[in-house]
Structure 1
Amino acid sequence: MTPTIITVAETVMLMFSYFEHDWDESLEGAEAMDAELMRRVTEGAWMPYSGDEPDPENIATIEELEGRAREAVDEWDVPDDVVRVPIEKLRAVIDGGGWTFVAGEFSEFEGHHNDTEYVVKLTRQPAT
């Protein structure tokens, strides 16, 4: 009898944050805040995340994630790169690691509660 080999997909959750709660409180004016936001976007990276999984019925594609972020960020009157750069970095992670987008979530900065963050769940088949 030949044994049955079962392969289990690998799953990872990642987060990209603008970390608004860590900003220097002395920043004043739209120009200074835009510069800080752009610095965080260009220097930021997708990091491992261990919180709640995003619901695939909420955002099921990277295009939906980008669209949700653009809706929110467009109201801020900031450069397009604020959304474009994190999404490009996510596409590079997906393409470079053979991942598939499963679900995503975008949440805006909220006073004492949370920073502006993207959370995604990715999966891939193990190498054989």
Structure 2
Amino acid sequence: MRNIIVAAALAAAAASPALAQTSTTAPSSPPVTQVRTVADLAAICDPAPGPLRLEAIAYCQGYITAAGQYHAAMFPAGSGRKPLYCVPSPAPSVAQTGIAFAAWARQNAQYAAEPALDGLHRWAQATYPCPAETTPPRASRPASR
């Protein structure tokens, strides 16, 4: 019994510094699960090296994937509804998308305080515009006098 108590005390002592290190984030970076603005999402999609880097990248990729799937569900092919943007085929990887979005956000700081989803859609519209619709020319009518 004494060995179990000593082992538990040693494990708790050894874990304390590790828990303290992983539970804090740098003051300049938002918590990985609190993405509200374009700036927050850009920071998550292209994070600085640190203990939460992989978690941030995974969150970014999940966010982008969900946004893309929602857009596809709202504007299904053949529905007659014009989509907000038209991703090329083959589509870029979700990792390429996150990095490109973060670069765009840095270059377009005027949108930093916008909601993250609005900024992501704004970026996608600028990056992947849909082809212009072509309407058949109207037949010329004789001029009436």
TM over 0.5: no
Q: Which structure is higher in strand share? A: 1
What is the TM-score of this pair, normalised by structure 2?
Answer: 0.22
TM-score scaled by length of structure 1: 0.25
